[in-house]
Amino acid sequence: MAETGAANDLSPAGAVGITPGRRLLNIVGGSGGNLIEWFDWFAYSAFTIYFASVFFPKGDQSTQFLQAALVFGVGFVARPAGAWLMGVYADRKGRKAALTLSVSMMCLGSLIIGLAPGYAVIGVAAPALLVIARIVQGLSLGGEYGASVTYVAEMSSGRYRGFWSGFLYVTLVMGQLLAISLLLLLQTVMTPEDLQAWGWRIPFFIGAALAVLVFWMRRGMHETAAYASVATVKERGKTMLLFTKYPKETLIIVALTAASGSFFYVFTTYMQKFLINSASGPAGDGFSRDDASRIMMVVLVVFMIIHPFAGWMSDRLGRRPMLIASFGLCALSAYPAYLGVMQATTNLEAIAICLLPLFALSGMTAISGLIKAELFPAHVRALGVALPYALTQAVFAGNAEAAALWFKQQGNEPGFFIFLTVVQAVAFIVAIAMRDTGKHTLIVED
């Protein structure tokens, strides 16, 4: 289906009657709030190394990390419910309304974690509170993804839609980067004992405060022309449409998300623990907590920067060629990267090796949300983007860290990376078989 009214420059142009400058601010609001959502989400993973023993005092370090990782996975289980509820809400009540609600829920989840007493104070109620908080955050993030991806894709112009959509992953990675940067700052100004005792609560209070600011920012955003064009359509937000009218599109999202989600979490969130627990490190017993955090900070900065360029490349070369190249390289690099990090003895070596698989992944992650949005018409777009993505993330990405730690405990760590390679190969085949969404997009309301 052909696009109309494509812009001749990089100015976003996705809503009638709104100036280019205002549209740009709308895109910043839609994607910038995403940054805070992901900061709150990743703060849990970044500070696990300090609060795992507070909520799970029994067992060795690997066991404590595993228990905390399982709770991290609980948030992923809640994401499909949030994706469904907020996807329906965004298609029926508007993208702006869903974005405002999602950031409010993230604020609540962060406050619960920041205020929760430890196991020594309230016993098993402590990890129970942690689970409740992750469920609230999972509901929030599940809804945030579909609404923000849909909003930015609809607010951007057809000609540069890949470029602008690339910033969605910039904000995602920046949220993770800010969480690690705050960890490094607190490691510098606080003693390990203070971090262990109470310092780990700081990022959750910061996240809650930032969520309040984003709430007010999003209240001033405009609704998209795409939603306005279907606001009276009776079938908008109907869940069964994904399985009756768009089953192929739904399955494509499942296959691509399984590969990219698991790969991303392995080489970002889990890699911090891998560097501590499995890598050789300078003395043959792994990298220190501080060094692991510094390594991942540098890796994430570089990974973040390349996304707008990768998105722009998809505008020039097409979405499908980017996907084929990305998943092909991911399949080829997963196991060699594992072997390389295992043998790394310096920070520079670890940084270089960790960047190789993530560079391969950027061809997918820069346009992952956009591809999903281009597969569905406006009246079911937010739900179509969010629900199959969140369901798949719950199974693959949400359990990637726990699965990797389980393989390690079973003495078969290489087996996990072989499995990861197979998942990438499946996505590579799907990418070859699918149509180019950029050339056959269903986003036509420019």
pLDDT in tens, 297-328: 899 899 989 998 998 999 889 999 999 999 99
Is 50's pLDDT higher than 90? no
The CA R_g of the chain, rounded to the nearest whole Å, is 21
Tokens of 262: 């698991």
The model's pLDDT over 157-178, given as tens digits with 9 standing for 90+, comes to 667 788 878 888 788 888 878 8
Tokens of 259: 């590969």
Is 16's pLDDT higher than 90? no
Specify whether the CB–CB gap between 149 and 141 falls below 8 A.
Answer: no
Q: Which helix (H) or strand (E) holds 360?
A: helix 347-365
CA atoms 13, 14, 17, 21: torsion sign: negative
DSSP state of 222: P
Specify whether the CB–CB gap between 401 and 268 falls below 8 A.
Answer: no
Q: Quick one: which of 385, 383, 3 has its CA closest to 165?
A: 385
Q: Tokens 């780990």: give the residue.
A: 200
Q: What one-character-per-residue DSSP string does 189-202 give?
A: HS-HHHHHHTGGGH
Q: Quick one: which of 211, 83, 241, 212 has its CA closest to 150?
A: 83
Q: How large is the average pLDDT for residues 348-354?
A: 94
Residue 353: which pLDDT band, with cuts at 50, 70 and 90? Answer: very high
C-alpha 199: how far from its chain's center?
A: 25
User: If you count them, how many residues does the chain have?
Assistant: 446
Domains of the chain: which residue ranges? 20-433
Tokens of 152: 């930015």
Specify whether the CB–CB gap between 171 and 35 falls below 8 A.
Answer: yes
Identify the three-state secondary structure at position 94: coil
Is 118's pLDDT higher than 90? no
Specify whether the CB–CB gap between 405 and 62 falls below 8 A.
Answer: yes
337 CB contacts (<8 Å, ≥6 apart)? Answer: 267, 353, 354, 356, 357
Q: How far apart are CA 220 and CA 49, in angstroms?
A: 38
Is 445's pLDDT higher than 60? no
Residue 17: which pLDDT band, with cuts at 50, 70 and 90? Answer: low
Q: What local confidence, expressed as pLDDT, does residue 382 receive?
A: 85
Q: Quick one: which of 81, 133, 129, 126 has its CA closest to 107?
A: 133
Is 129's pLDDT higher than 80? yes
Specify whether the CB–CB gap between 71 and 130 falls below 8 A.
Answer: yes
Is 103's pLDDT higher than 80? yes
The model's pLDDT over 191-207, given as tens digits with 9 standing for 90+, comes to 888 988 889 899 999 99
| Average confidence score pLDDT of the chain | 84
Instruction: Report the percentage of the chain scoring pLDDT > 70.
Output: 93
Q: How far apart are CA 383 and CA 268, in angstroms?
A: 27
138 CB contacts (<8 Å, ≥6 apart)? Answer: 74, 75, 76, 77, 78, 79, 81, 82
Tokens of 89: 């809400």
CA atoms 316, 317, 318, 319: torsion sign: negative
Is 40's pLDDT higher than 60? yes
Q: How far apart are CA 147 and CA 307, in angstroms?
A: 20
Domain at 20-433: CATH code: 1.20.1250.20
Is 336's pLDDT higher than 60? yes
